[in-house]
A = this chain, B = another copy of it.
Amino acid sequence: MLIVHKYGGTSVGDLERIENVARRVAAARAEGKDLVVVVSAMSGETNKLIEYAHHFAQTPSRREMDILLSSGERVTASLLAIALQEMGYPAVAMTGRQAGIRTDDTHMFARIEEINTEAMRRHIDAGEIIVVAGFQGIDQQGNVTTLGRGGSDLSAVAIAGALGADACEIYSDVDGIYTTDPRIEPQARKLERISYDEMLELASLGAKVLQSRSVELAKKMGVTIVARSSFSDAEGTIITEEVEGMEAVLVSGIALDKNQARVSLRDVVDRPGVAAEIFNQLAADQINVDMIIQNASTDGTTHLGFTVPQSEIEQAKKSIAAFEEEIGGMDFDEQIAKVSVVGVGMKSHSGVAATAFTAMADNSINIEMIATSEIKVSMVIDEKFGELAVRVLHEAYALDR
């Protein structure tokens, strides 16, 4: 059995924690597993290096940043390999390049294009535990590249896929995926399993355990992820394809996002292409538009509503100003919360959305916007009701059971 482990920055945050990780890896090894371990930089290291670079330049060149930033993971990988060797396990550290990770040349946000597993295979066949510096690779020209935030997860999933590993266990300081944030709803329950699609919705809605990119890649490559804690022996949550048993689950989680702002454009001239122009402009100005709602036209004008990250609202106002003549009126609201119900069961069950709306109404929470996907219902409400809405919905879908 071949398993990929991935340990994030907090899990390898200091020398004692690296030793703790070595013990976990050794325990898995003792069970007879072949192991590839992917590690992040010690927490704080990457930010320290970014600060160093910003001492010299506001926007340092990305090519050089990649040489800089890739150094942190190399430190952790070699230290962990040394720790394992000292415990009597044959182990070998590999940089992204040595592990055969080839990316495109988009520095700081590179995409993995190919993994040449030859060298890793050789070490596995020799009975060695491989410790790979995550987050990095090289491009076709041999330049060092990094994969962006969450890049070590990506490295781990891609390696697991390329090697056909039985699972990719991603260790962090939380022990799995919960039905909702336990700090908001103490009844929140850890999920045993969740589908890629549900995880994708939850990730895009702010669940911080896994980033969307890694889940997408896992889905594409068919890699089973297990989200676990490096600080406990709890079982964790399995992220995998939808399976029969999962269909019974109607709703798997409730997510809350308080970092959005709402933009409402009233009486927009209803001629073809106006909406496209507006959203093209927002995209050109690098604003991440999330929910988009357009009401059916009535009197030759229409209403357009959407949400953007709060940090981008000022830029959004400027972008929209160019369309003043086509827009009757606009208002902006930063005091909003987006609460979402996620579950694959929605695909085959009607009434899931109705349950949400009823629960909100029963608690006098006004819904300002609604957007749905196949497996998600998102609602924009007044920010002050955010936590209440989470608890109400958690209860309405009986997620604590």
- Spell out A's residues near B (CB within 8 Å): 15, 18-19, 22, 49, 52-53, 55-57, 60-61, 63-65, 67-68, 70-72, 74-75, 77-79, 81-83, 85-86, 92-93, 95, 97-98, 119, 133, 142-144
Residues of B within 8 A of A60 (CB): 82, 85-86
| Contact of B86 with A56 in the complex, beta carbons under 8 Å | yes
Q: 15 new A-B pairs (CB below 8 Å) besides A60-B82, A95-B144, A98-B144?
A: A22-B56, A56-B86, A57-B86, A60-B86, A63-B93, A67-B74, A67-B78, A67-B95, A67-B133, A68-B74, A68-B79, A68-B82, A71-B75, A97-B97, A98-B142
| Contact of B52 with A79 in the complex, beta carbons under 8 Å | yes
Residues of B within 8 A of A98 (CB): 142-144
Instruction: Knowing A57-B86, A71-B71, say if A64 contacts B52 (CB, 8 Å).
Output: no
| Cα A49 to Cα B82 with chains together (Å) | 12
Smallest CB separation, A276 vs chain B (Å): 38
Smallest CB separation, A103 vs chain B (Å): 15
| Cα A83 to Cα B52 with chains together (Å) | 10
Smallest CB separation, A370 vs chain B (Å): 47
| Cα A228 to Cα B312 with chains together (Å) | 51
| Contact of A55 with B15 in the complex, beta carbons under 8 Å | yes
Instruction: Knowing A15-B52, A15-B56, A56-B83, say if A68 contacts B78 (CB, 8 Å).
Output: yes
Smallest CB separation, A54 vs chain B (Å): 9
Could you list 29 A-B pairs, sorted by A, with CB under 8 Å?
A15-B52, A15-B55, A15-B56, A19-B56, A22-B56, A49-B75, A53-B78, A53-B82, A56-B83, A56-B86, A57-B83, A57-B85, A57-B86, A60-B82, A61-B81, A61-B82, A61-B85, A63-B93, A67-B74, A67-B77, A67-B93, A68-B74, A68-B79, A71-B75, A95-B144, A97-B97, A97-B142, A98-B144, A119-B142
| Cα A264 to Cα B98 with chains together (Å) | 52
| Cα A83 to Cα B60 with chains together (Å) | 8
Residues of B within 8 A of A19 (CB): 56
Our pick among B49, B78, B142 for the contact of A64 (Cβ within 8 Å) is B78
Residues of B within 8 A of A64 (CB): 78, 81-82, 85, 92-93
Residues of B within 8 A of A75 (CB): 49, 52, 68, 71
Residues of B within 8 A of A133 (CB): 67
Residues of B within 8 A of A93 (CB): 63-64, 67
| Cα A72 to Cα B85 with chains together (Å) | 23
Residues of B within 8 A of A56 (CB): 15, 18-19, 22, 79, 82-83, 86
| Cα A60 to Cα B56 with chains together (Å) | 35
Instruction: Knowing A15-B56, A19-B56, A56-B83, say if A78 contacts B95 (CB, 8 Å).
Output: no
